[in-house]
Structure 1
Amino acid sequence: MSNIHPSSVVDPAAKLGAGVEIGPFCIVGPQVELGDGAKLNGHVVVTGLTKIGAGTEIHSFAVIGGPPQTLKPVGADTRITVGDNCQIREHATIHPGTVGGGGLTSVGNNCLLMVGTHIGHDCHVGNNVVMANNGTLGGHVSLGDFVYVGGLSAIHQNVRIGAHAMIGGMTGVEQDVIPYGSVMGNRAFLAGLNIIGLKRRGFTRDQIHTLRRAYRMLFADEGTLAERLADVVEEFGTSDVVMDVVAFMQADSARSFILPRADRGGA
């Protein structure tokens, strides 16, 4: 049984799970699916081919499923999926995918999207991601699990952010960020590893120490990046966390990588 405020407009074709709550002055379109226990506070718009997971709460004036900000073809079947137990705060926006971009924008489970955050078309956001106030993702951006995006930061289209990375506040990101990396500045530079985040998430002292050694080898002055990457594989090939970084850097990408500043290369 759902609880729907009489002032809201909910299309009869929308699929509502058990215990859904819809507050005053909300709009829910015909292709929307709201999972069990999902909650829309007042003045929320959910439209388009959009699926919201169980237990996810969307706060006032958020718009999920509005037309993407692109001149490219959108398509009738482009869609959004949002996972379970997310918090989507006031004035956040999420746009569906496009025909040429795969047709899907996705957000994982247990994410916190703070006030004014924007997720552009064809983005893929992992689990346990936090985006602080007014963080912005251009189209085709991917965020790995446990990424933290600081307030007022902007991530350029087609950029990849590796798992457990930290994007400092007011940072402009134009290139890929390695897993476990910490970047800041406008434009962003690699400031080291996200050591605080790693400790909070239970990575061991040995894992962190190994990552630091690999980081220093990878971004040393000697040789080319390809040569240093090969050296890292040879020395740290048995380390899962290091090989996460290697696999990320060896994958195809539309962007290059953010590197340390010459005078600030420590891990």
Structure 2
Amino acid sequence: MANIHPTALVDSQAQLGENVTIGAYSIVGPHVRIDEGTTVGAHCVIEGHTTIGRDNRFFSNVAVGGEPQDKKYAGEPTRLEIGHRNTIRECCTFNTGTVQDEGVTRVGDDNWIMAYVHVAHDCRVGSHVILANSVQLAGHVHVGDWVIVGGMSGVHQFVKIGAHAMTGMCTALGQDLPPFVMAQGNMAAAHGVNLEGLRRRGFSAERLSAVKQMHKALYRQGLTLEQAKGQIDGLKASHPEAEADVDLMLSFLLASTRGIVR
């Protein structure tokens, strides 16, 4: 049975799993599904075609599933999908997608999303991500797994942030940020490798060495991007344990459409 506060308004068509809690004065719309163990705080609005997984925690005044802030939106039944075990703090806003993209905004699992974060239409946020207070993601932004975005940072539409990357506070990110790289500033500039984060995630010495070599090729040898790609590809032979990390970097660089932070 769900635990619904008497002041909450939950549409009869909404699907609530076992042990879902809906707090005081919250509103849940008819096209919403919330899986077991999720807690929704007071004064939240969950609307649109929204699917929410297990064991999430929504704090007060969160508004998710609202229409995209896109003038082209014409009422299409686009979606928002949120995974499992996310913590979503006060006053966050997540919008549904648009038909100009895949029609869905996705948030993965085990994310820590602090207060006043905005996730715009068609964003894809991976898993184990930290978005600090007041981070603003514009439309179509892709955020890889294990990314950390510093407080009050803004990310331009269509920008991609690679896995394990990190930005400092108040960063304005207008180009793609490759995996493993740390950046800060307005506009953002690269400032090294997220080595401490990688160590905490169990990266071996050989993998860390490969990451350092990839950063060196991109930022410290004066190479063109094509030259850097070739040098990075050669690391597979000298660092076989890091082959997946090299492939991650190369696939990111290949998919980049806005150019990378350099």
TM-score bracket for this pair, using the shorter chain length: over 0.9
Q: 1:247 aligns with which of 248, 251, 259?
A: 251
Distance 1:122 1:45 in 2: 19
Distance 1:125 1:9 in 2: 29
Judged with a 3 Å threshold, the aligned counterparts in structure 2 of structure 1 residues 57 and 113 are, in CA distance, closer, same or farther, namely same
TM-score by length of structure 1 reads: 0.93
Question: Do the aligned partners of 1:214 and 1:236 also contact (CA within 8 Å) in 2?
Answer: no
For the pair 1:95 / 2:99, whether they are aligned, the reply is no
Question: Do the aligned partners of 1:55 and 1:84 also contact (CA within 8 Å) in 2?
Answer: yes
- Give the structure 1 partner of residue 261 of structure 2: 258
- Give the structure 2 partner of residue 77 of structure 1: 77
Give deviations 1:163-219, integer Å, cap 9, x for gaps.
011011110000001011111011100111111110111111221012112321233
Q: What's the CA shift for 1:151?
A: 0.3
Amino acid in the other structure paired with 2:257: A
Cα RMSD after superposing both structures: 1.2
Distance 1:23 1:77 in 2: 26
Amino acid in the other structure paired with 2:55: G
Q: What's the CA shift for 1:223?
A: 4.0
Deviates more, 1:83-92 or 1:230-239: 230-239
- Give the structure 2 partner of residue 8 of structure 1: 8
TM-score by length of structure 2 reads: 0.95
Question: Do the aligned partners of 2:235 and 2:246 also contact (CA within 8 Å) in 1?
Answer: no
For the pair 1:146 / 2:146, whether they are aligned, the reply is yes
Question: Do the aligned partners of 1:49 and 1:79 also contact (CA within 8 Å) in 2?
Answer: yes
Distance 1:15 1:124 in 2: 24
Q: Count the aligned residue pairs.
A: 258
Deviates more, 1:221-230 or 1:54-63: 221-230
Distance 2:146 2:74 in 1: 29
- Give the structure 2 partner of residue 104 of structure 1: 104
Judged with a 3 Å threshold, the aligned counterparts in structure 2 of structure 1 residues 74 and 95 are, in CA distance, closer, same or farther, namely farther
3-state SS of the aligned residue for 2:80?
A: strand
Question: Do the aligned partners of 2:86 and 2:109 also contact (CA within 8 Å) in 1?
Answer: yes
Distance 2:128 2:4 in 1: 29
Distance 2:232 2:251 in 1: 12
Give deviations 1:118-166, integer Å, cap 9, x for gaps.
0000000001111000001000000000111110000000000000110
Q: What's the CA shift for 1:243?
A: 2.3
Judged with a 3 Å threshold, the aligned counterparts in structure 2 of structure 1 residues 235 and 57 are, in CA distance, closer, same or farther, namely closer
Give deviations 1:39-84, integer Å, cap 9, x for gaps.
1111010000001111011111110011211111254320000000
Q: Percent identity?
A: 39
